[in-house]
Amino acid sequence: MIAGVITFLIFILGLSLGFVLDQKRVSWIEETSKKQELDYKSLQLQYLYLNTLENTKKSCDVLSSTLRSTLVTLSETLEDLESFKEETKLNKKEYRALLRKFTIENLNYWLFAEKSKKLCNVDAVSILYFFSRDYCKICPNQGIILSYFKNLFDEDILIFPIDTDLKENEPIISLIESVYDIESYPTIIIDETAYRRIVPKDEMGKIICKLYKTEHKDCEDYLE
Protein backbone atom coordinates (compact mmCIF):
# COMPACT_ATOMS: atom_id res chain seq x y z
CA MET A 1 0.00 0.00 0.00
CA ILE A 2 2.82 2.38 0.89
CA ALA A 3 4.57 1.60 -2.39
CA GLY A 4 1.33 2.26 -4.24
CA VAL A 5 0.87 5.63 -2.50
CA ILE A 6 4.47 6.63 -3.29
CA THR A 7 4.03 5.62 -6.94
CA PHE A 8 0.82 7.63 -7.15
CA LEU A 9 2.48 10.71 -5.61
CA ILE A 10 5.39 10.45 -8.04
CA PHE A 11 2.91 10.19 -10.93
CA ILE A 12 1.01 13.26 -9.74
CA LEU A 13 4.29 15.17 -9.26
CA GLY A 14 5.44 14.31 -12.80
CA LEU A 15 2.05 15.30 -14.23
CA SER A 16 2.10 18.61 -12.37
CA LEU A 17 5.66 19.34 -13.45
CA GLY A 18 4.75 18.59 -17.09
CA PHE A 19 1.78 20.95 -16.86
CA VAL A 20 3.92 23.75 -15.40
CA LEU A 21 6.59 23.32 -18.09
CA ASP A 22 3.96 23.29 -20.84
CA GLN A 23 2.42 26.49 -19.49
CA LYS A 24 5.83 28.18 -19.43
CA ARG A 25 6.47 27.12 -23.04
CA VAL A 26 3.08 28.43 -24.11
CA SER A 27 3.63 31.74 -22.29
CA TRP A 28 7.06 32.19 -23.85
CA ILE A 29 5.81 31.46 -27.37
CA GLU A 30 2.85 33.80 -26.91
CA GLU A 31 5.18 36.61 -25.82
CA THR A 32 7.39 35.93 -28.83
CA SER A 33 4.34 36.02 -31.08
CA LYS A 34 3.31 39.42 -29.71
CA LYS A 35 6.78 40.78 -30.46
CA GLN A 36 6.64 39.41 -34.00
CA GLU A 37 3.25 41.02 -34.56
CA LEU A 38 4.76 44.37 -33.58
CA ASP A 39 7.76 43.71 -35.84
CA TYR A 40 5.41 42.99 -38.74
CA LYS A 41 3.42 46.18 -38.15
CA SER A 42 6.70 48.10 -38.05
CA LEU A 43 7.75 46.58 -41.39
CA GLN A 44 4.39 47.50 -42.91
CA LEU A 45 4.83 51.08 -41.74
CA GLN A 46 8.34 51.21 -43.22
CA TYR A 47 6.98 49.87 -46.51
CA LEU A 48 4.22 52.49 -46.63
CA TYR A 49 6.75 55.22 -45.90
CA LEU A 50 9.08 54.00 -48.66
CA ASN A 51 6.22 54.26 -51.14
CA THR A 52 6.13 58.00 -50.49
CA LEU A 53 9.82 58.51 -51.35
CA GLU A 54 11.44 59.03 -54.73
CA ASN A 55 14.90 57.80 -53.73
CA THR A 56 14.49 54.61 -51.72
CA LYS A 57 17.91 52.95 -52.02
CA LYS A 58 19.28 53.82 -48.58
CA SER A 59 15.93 53.21 -46.90
CA CYS A 60 15.52 49.93 -48.76
CA ASP A 61 18.76 48.68 -47.22
CA VAL A 62 17.28 49.29 -43.76
CA LEU A 63 13.99 47.60 -44.68
CA SER A 64 15.79 44.58 -46.15
CA SER A 65 18.01 44.19 -43.08
CA THR A 66 15.03 44.41 -40.71
CA LEU A 67 12.99 41.91 -42.75
CA ARG A 68 15.79 39.34 -42.85
CA SER A 69 16.59 39.58 -39.14
CA THR A 70 12.88 39.25 -38.29
CA LEU A 71 12.60 36.14 -40.45
CA VAL A 72 15.52 34.58 -38.59
CA THR A 73 13.61 35.07 -35.33
CA LEU A 74 10.45 33.62 -36.88
CA SER A 75 12.38 30.57 -38.08
CA GLU A 76 13.88 30.01 -34.64
CA THR A 77 10.43 30.25 -33.04
CA LEU A 78 9.04 27.66 -35.44
CA GLU A 79 11.89 25.35 -34.45
CA ASP A 80 10.98 25.90 -30.79
CA LEU A 81 7.39 24.97 -31.66
CA GLU A 82 8.64 21.75 -33.22
CA SER A 83 10.51 20.79 -30.06
CA PHE A 84 7.44 21.83 -28.02
CA LYS A 85 5.37 19.32 -29.98
CA GLU A 86 7.81 16.53 -29.17
CA GLU A 87 8.05 17.37 -25.47
CA THR A 88 4.53 18.39 -24.53
CA LYS A 89 2.17 15.91 -22.94
CA LEU A 90 -0.62 18.40 -22.34
CA ASN A 91 -1.94 21.57 -23.98
CA LYS A 92 -2.39 19.94 -27.40
CA LYS A 93 -5.08 22.49 -28.30
CA GLU A 94 -2.82 25.40 -27.31
CA TYR A 95 -0.04 23.91 -29.40
CA ARG A 96 -2.19 23.64 -32.54
CA ALA A 97 -3.55 27.15 -32.03
CA LEU A 98 -0.02 28.54 -31.74
CA LEU A 99 1.14 26.58 -34.76
CA ARG A 100 -1.77 27.97 -36.79
CA LYS A 101 -0.92 31.49 -35.62
CA PHE A 102 2.70 31.15 -36.68
CA THR A 103 1.63 29.66 -40.03
CA ILE A 104 -0.44 32.80 -40.66
CA GLU A 105 2.52 34.98 -39.66
CA ASN A 106 4.76 32.94 -41.96
CA LEU A 107 2.45 33.65 -44.91
CA ASN A 108 2.21 37.32 -43.94
CA TYR A 109 5.99 37.59 -44.08
CA TRP A 110 6.12 35.69 -47.37
CA LEU A 111 3.70 38.16 -48.98
CA PHE A 112 5.59 41.07 -47.47
CA ALA A 113 8.93 39.69 -48.68
CA GLU A 114 7.56 39.39 -52.23
CA LYS A 115 6.35 43.02 -52.18
CA SER A 116 9.65 44.22 -50.70
CA LYS A 117 11.69 42.38 -53.32
CA LYS A 118 9.79 44.24 -56.05
CA LEU A 119 9.99 47.65 -54.37
CA CYS A 120 13.58 47.42 -53.19
CA ASN A 121 15.02 44.94 -55.70
CA VAL A 122 16.19 42.69 -52.83
CA ASP A 123 18.51 39.97 -54.11
CA ALA A 124 17.05 37.04 -52.17
CA VAL A 125 15.26 33.84 -53.14
CA SER A 126 11.91 33.01 -51.49
CA ILE A 127 10.70 29.43 -51.11
CA LEU A 128 7.28 28.25 -49.96
CA TYR A 129 7.52 24.70 -48.62
CA PHE A 130 4.26 22.74 -48.34
CA PHE A 131 4.50 19.57 -46.25
CA SER A 132 2.40 17.23 -44.14
CA ARG A 133 3.45 15.58 -40.91
CA ASP A 134 0.55 13.15 -40.92
CA TYR A 135 0.38 12.12 -44.58
CA CYS A 136 3.87 12.52 -46.02
CA LYS A 137 6.63 10.24 -44.78
CA ILE A 138 9.13 11.53 -47.35
CA CYS A 139 8.61 15.23 -46.54
CA PRO A 140 11.44 15.34 -43.95
CA ASN A 141 13.87 14.48 -46.78
CA GLN A 142 12.95 17.72 -48.55
CA GLY A 143 13.17 19.55 -45.23
CA ILE A 144 16.76 18.38 -44.76
CA ILE A 145 17.72 19.69 -48.21
CA LEU A 146 16.08 23.05 -47.51
CA SER A 147 17.88 23.28 -44.16
CA TYR A 148 21.18 22.67 -45.96
CA PHE A 149 20.60 25.61 -48.30
CA LYS A 150 19.37 27.80 -45.45
CA ASN A 151 22.67 27.18 -43.65
CA LEU A 152 24.58 27.77 -46.89
CA PHE A 153 22.91 30.99 -48.09
CA ASP A 154 21.76 32.28 -44.70
CA GLU A 155 19.79 35.54 -45.10
CA ASP A 156 19.95 35.39 -48.91
CA ILE A 157 17.32 32.64 -48.95
CA LEU A 158 13.90 33.04 -47.33
CA ILE A 159 12.17 29.73 -46.58
CA PHE A 160 8.55 29.63 -45.43
CA PRO A 161 7.38 26.17 -44.27
CA ILE A 162 3.61 25.58 -44.45
CA ASP A 163 2.11 22.73 -42.43
CA THR A 164 -0.81 21.59 -44.58
CA ASP A 165 -2.25 19.49 -41.73
CA LEU A 166 -3.62 22.82 -40.44
CA LYS A 167 -5.60 23.68 -43.56
CA GLU A 168 -8.85 22.31 -42.15
CA ASN A 169 -8.83 25.26 -39.74
CA GLU A 170 -6.85 27.71 -41.87
CA PRO A 171 -8.47 28.47 -45.27
CA ILE A 172 -5.54 30.50 -46.65
CA ILE A 173 -3.52 27.28 -47.03
CA SER A 174 -6.17 25.70 -49.28
CA LEU A 175 -6.47 28.98 -51.20
CA ILE A 176 -2.74 29.06 -52.02
CA GLU A 177 -2.80 25.36 -52.88
CA SER A 178 -5.59 25.98 -55.39
CA VAL A 179 -3.65 28.83 -57.01
CA TYR A 180 -0.54 26.66 -57.50
CA ASP A 181 -2.52 23.44 -58.15
CA ILE A 182 -0.95 21.60 -55.22
CA GLU A 183 -2.36 18.13 -54.60
CA SER A 184 0.62 16.22 -53.20
CA TYR A 185 3.49 16.74 -50.76
CA PRO A 186 6.15 17.83 -50.55
CA THR A 187 5.65 20.74 -52.92
CA ILE A 188 7.90 23.78 -53.04
CA ILE A 189 7.25 27.10 -54.79
CA ILE A 190 10.35 28.89 -56.04
CA ASP A 191 9.91 32.10 -58.02
CA GLU A 192 6.26 31.27 -58.83
CA THR A 193 7.21 27.81 -60.13
CA ALA A 194 5.78 24.75 -58.34
CA TYR A 195 7.84 21.58 -57.89
CA ARG A 196 5.43 18.84 -56.81
CA ARG A 197 8.07 16.35 -55.72
CA ILE A 198 11.30 16.13 -53.78
CA VAL A 199 13.83 18.38 -55.49
CA PRO A 200 17.34 16.86 -55.11
CA LYS A 201 20.12 18.98 -53.66
CA ASP A 202 22.06 19.55 -56.91
CA GLU A 203 18.94 20.49 -58.86
CA MET A 204 17.74 22.84 -56.14
CA GLY A 205 21.15 24.49 -55.95
CA LYS A 206 21.03 25.21 -59.69
CA ILE A 207 17.46 26.57 -59.47
CA ILE A 208 18.30 28.87 -56.57
CA CYS A 209 21.60 30.14 -57.95
CA LYS A 210 20.10 31.06 -61.33
CA LEU A 211 17.65 33.36 -59.56
CA TYR A 212 20.25 35.60 -57.89
CA LYS A 213 20.68 38.89 -59.72
CA THR A 214 24.36 39.12 -58.80
CA GLU A 215 26.88 36.28 -58.63
CA HIS A 216 26.67 34.55 -55.25
CA LYS A 217 29.89 33.33 -53.63
CA ASP A 218 28.35 29.97 -52.69
CA CYS A 219 27.02 29.19 -56.16
CA GLU A 220 30.27 28.12 -57.86
CA ASP A 221 29.52 24.41 -57.55
CA TYR A 222 25.99 24.81 -58.96
CA LEU A 223 26.66 27.03 -61.99
CA GLU A 224 29.50 25.09 -63.63
Pick from 96, 75, 76: which is nearest to 26 by CA?
96
Instruction: Based on the fold, state whether residues 113 and 140 are members of the same structural domain.
Output: no
Q: Which of 121, 147, 166 marks a domain boundary?
A: 121
Instruction: Based on the fold, state whether residues 83 and 117 are members of the same structural domain.
Output: yes
Q: Which of 57, 89, 121 marks a domain boundary?
A: 121
**Does the pLDDT value for residue 30 go beyond 90?**
no
**Does the pLDDT value for residue 89 go beyond 60?**
no
Q: Which of 70, 103, 121 marks a domain boundary?
A: 121
Q: Can you give the pLDDT at residue 224?
A: 65
Q: What is the mean pLDDT of residues 62-88?
A: 67
Instruction: Based on the fold, state whether residues 110 and 219 are members of the same structural domain.
Output: no
Most confident of the following: 7-21, 23-37, 40-54, 119-133: 119-133
Number of folded domains that form the chain: 2
Residues in Cβ contact with 64 at an 8 Å cutoff, skipping those fewer than 6 apart: 116, 120, 122, 124
Complete edge-to-edge strand list for the sheet that includes strand 187-190: 157-163, 125-131, 187-190, 193-195
Instruction: Based on the fold, state whether residues 197 and 219 are members of the same structural domain.
Output: yes
Instruction: Based on the fold, state whether residues 84 and 176 are members of the same structural domain.
Output: no
Most confident of the following: 35-49, 88-102, 200-214: 200-214
Q: Can you give the pLDDT at residue 202?
A: 93
Q: Can you give the pLDDT at residue 102?
A: 80
Instruction: Based on the fold, state whether residues 127 and 115 are members of the same structural domain.
Output: no
Instruction: Based on the fold, state whether residues 112 and 17 are members of the same structural domain.
Output: yes
Instruction: Based on the fold, state whether residues 144 and 61 are members of the same structural domain.
Output: no
Instruction: Based on the fold, state whether residues 115 and 129 are members of the same structural domain.
Output: no
Q: Can you give the pLDDT at residue 117?
A: 81
Instruction: Based on the fold, state whether residues 25 and 44 are members of the same structural domain.
Output: yes
Instruction: Based on the fold, state whether residues 112 and 155 are members of the same structural domain.
Output: no
Give the residue numbers spanning the domain of 84: 1-121
Contact 99, 91 (CB under 8 A): no
